[in-house]
């Protein structure tokens, strides 16, 4: 099948590559010529494990091409997937790119007689697919919804493991305007080995927001528990969570084929029930705010959502309080900040706790020296030109002579930091473990002051 995708960002490109693996011919469309040229050469503008090799394979097999936005590639395809960004705008969803994409599809379909399916993969609030996108396509095409297909297919890609999520999904949700739209789009997934949930457009839109809001809630709840633990002498939230996780309702017993024994199954969602610096990235922050704003438009109060957002917005300040308590003040202090990406295995710094903490440290007039395995100076300058931090590729350069070390991203590289390493590089090492990835006992045994999120005094 021939498929056109509007958007060459994270979702558009990875979705396109997943579709080529099934033998489809995919054209990704964009308006940024520099980005188009780079992708056609197999060059990426963001980091995701395994993605570069998959892009090169798809280009070599001639199943993927990247082109400038045009009507011909849309009309020559069987369906068009919208995968453009829906960024935050004043705590609400910004639909500018969505509307532009819908307009372009409508103008293209005006030239086409055959049936065409429009699929929305961008995250949009309930009602947007039909009332905004569908009506815009209808207006500019001169056709009614139903004369062209309309579906909503939310994505559930996690940065850092998006390839596995796209190629081996745990479920596929397809919201459709009518039966014909649904049948045409679901035909792409005949070989899928996961449940396919067919529903209406609004339900599909709501499933996506509910998913992100749930995980954001778990993280903020975990951090509120951590704040309580910090006020209690001798209480460590890690001990609390380790015990909570053993509850059979959270980690049920399952039969292990390899060992032929019953043992605990550790579900992936438990990683969200851990205390840390807060959530970040391109989805959870903007989607919780958009859902809260959408609820307001329905004249509904959502106190839990508001609390989730407020807790997350203030969580980076907890790190600053720990640092101030450890040093007595931050003015003129050399701070080694480890981690600028919002999570490991990505270079995404959007809404990153590490970036927020760096800004707070600069307000305290600290000297901020940073390390991240994937984030580059170019990335920082493009997104945060106001940040006067120093970024070094060698972690030892960052740790050397630091007054305090703060871990804000749980990269595997940082899990390997040892007390001996710190003592060798700085005279009076102090560490703040913002992700709870180090052994507290090892640092206490080495007489290195160890502070952490959720650790009582």
Query: Where are the domain boundaries for CATH 3.40.50.720 in the chain?
Result: 2-199, 216-452
Cα–Cα dist 393/140, whole Å? 50
Kindly report the CATH number that applies to the domain delimited by 216-452.
3.40.50.720
Among 237, 277, 283, 370, the one annotated catalytic: 283
Residue 164 has a CB neighbour count (10 Å cut-off) of 13
Pairing relationship of beta strands 431-433 and 404-407 according to DSSP bridges: parallel
Residue 247, pLDDT score: 93
The tokens 């060459």 sit on which residue? Answer: 8
339 within 8 A of 409, measured Cβ to Cβ: yes
CA distance 242 to 32: 48
**Residue 433: C-alpha distances to residues 9, 262, 309, 369 (Å):** 33, 34, 23, 16
Q: Which positions ≥6 away from 67 have C-beta within 8 Å?
A: 27, 28, 29, 30, 36, 73
β-strands 79-82, 2-6 pairing = parallel
Number of H helices, E strands in the chain: 19, 18
Tell me, what's the pLDDT at 90?
86
Q: Using CB atoms within 10 A of its CB, is residue 332 exposed (0-12), middle (13-18) or buried (19+)?
A: exposed
End-to-end CA distance of the chain: 61
What CATH architecture does domain 2-199 belong to? 3-Layer(aba) Sandwich (3.40)
Burial class of residue 27 in the structure, from the number of CB atoms within 10 Å of its CB (0-12 exposed, 13-18 middle, 19+ buried): buried
Listed as ranges, residues in the chain with pLDDT below 70 are: none
Q: Tell how strand 334-338 and strand 367-371 pair up.
A: parallel
Structure confidence by residue, pLDDT tens digits, 199-216: 999 999 999 999 999 999
Helix (H, G, I), strand (E, B) or coil at 302: coil
What secondary structure letter does DSSP report for 116? -
pLDDT of residue 146: 97
CA distance 438 to 427: 20
Could you give the residue ranges of the DSSP H alpha helices within 249-302? 284-297
Nearest to 234 by CA among 387, 84, 454, 69: 454
Note the pLDDT of residue 76: 97
283 carries an active-site annotation? yes
3-state secondary structure 68-113: ECCHHHHHCCCEEEECCCCCEECCEECCHHHHHHHHHHHHHHCCCC
Phi, psi of 133 (to 5 degrees): -70, -50
Cβ atoms of 4 and 73 within 8 Å: the answer is yes
In the prediction, which pLDDT does 307 show? 98
CB 341 within 8 A of CB 306: no
């Amino acid at each position: 099948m021939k498929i056109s995708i509007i958007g060459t960002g994270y979702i558009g490109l990875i979705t396109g590559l997943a579709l080529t693996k099934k033998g489809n011919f995919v054209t990704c469309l964009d308006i940024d010529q520099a980005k188009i040229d780079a992708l056609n050469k197999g060059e990426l503008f963001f980091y995701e494990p395994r993605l570069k090799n998959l892009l090169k394979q798809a280009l070599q097999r001639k199943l993927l091409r990247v082109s400038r936005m045009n009507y011909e590639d849309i009309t020559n395809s069987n369906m068009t997937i919208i995968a453009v960004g829906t960024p935050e705008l004043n705590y609400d969803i910004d639909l500018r790119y969505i509307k532009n994409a819908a307009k372009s599809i409508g103008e293209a379909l005006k030239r086409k007689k055959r049936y065409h399916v429009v699929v929305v993969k961008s995250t949009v609030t309930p009602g947007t697919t039909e009332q905004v996108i569908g009506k815009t396509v209808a207006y500019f095409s001169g056709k009614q919804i139903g004369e062209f297909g309309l579906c909503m297919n939310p994505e559930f890609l996690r940065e850092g493991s998006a390839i596995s999520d796209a190629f081996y999904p745990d479920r596929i949700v397809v919201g459709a305007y009518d039966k014909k739209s649904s049948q045409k789009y679901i035909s792409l997934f005949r070989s899928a080995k996961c449940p396919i949930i067919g529903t209406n457009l609004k339900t599909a839109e709501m499933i996506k927001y509910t998913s992100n809001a749930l995980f954001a809630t778990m993280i903020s709840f975990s951090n509120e528990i951590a704040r309580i633990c910090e006020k209690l002498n001798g209480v460590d939230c890690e001990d609390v969570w380790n015990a909570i996780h053993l509850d059979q309702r959270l980690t049920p017993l399952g039969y292990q084929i390899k060992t032929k024994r019953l043992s605990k199954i550790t579900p992936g969602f438990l990683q969200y029930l851990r205390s840390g610096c807060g959530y970040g990235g391109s989805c959870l922050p903007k989607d919780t705010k958009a859902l809260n704003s959408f609820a307001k438009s329905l004249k509904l109060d959502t106190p839990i959502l508001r609390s989730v957002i407020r807790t997350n917005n203030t969580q980076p300040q907890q790190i600053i309080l720990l640092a101030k308590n450890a040093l007595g003040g931050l003015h003129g202090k050399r701070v080694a900040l480890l981690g600028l990406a919002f999570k490991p295995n990505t270079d995404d710094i959007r809404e990153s706790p590490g970036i927020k903490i760096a800004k707070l440290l600069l307000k305290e007039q600290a000297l901020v020296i940073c390390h991240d395995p994937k984030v580059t100076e170019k990335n920082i300058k493009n997104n945060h030109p106001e940040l006067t931090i120093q970024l070094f590729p060698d972690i030892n350069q960052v740790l050397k002579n630091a007054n305090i070390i703060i871990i804000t991203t749980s990269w595997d590289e940082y899990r390997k930091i040892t007390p001996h390493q710190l003592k060798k590089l700085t005279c009076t090492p102090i560490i703040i473990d913002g992700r709870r990835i180090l052994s507290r006992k090892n640092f206490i045994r080495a007489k290195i002051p160890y502070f952490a999120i959720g650790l009582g005094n």
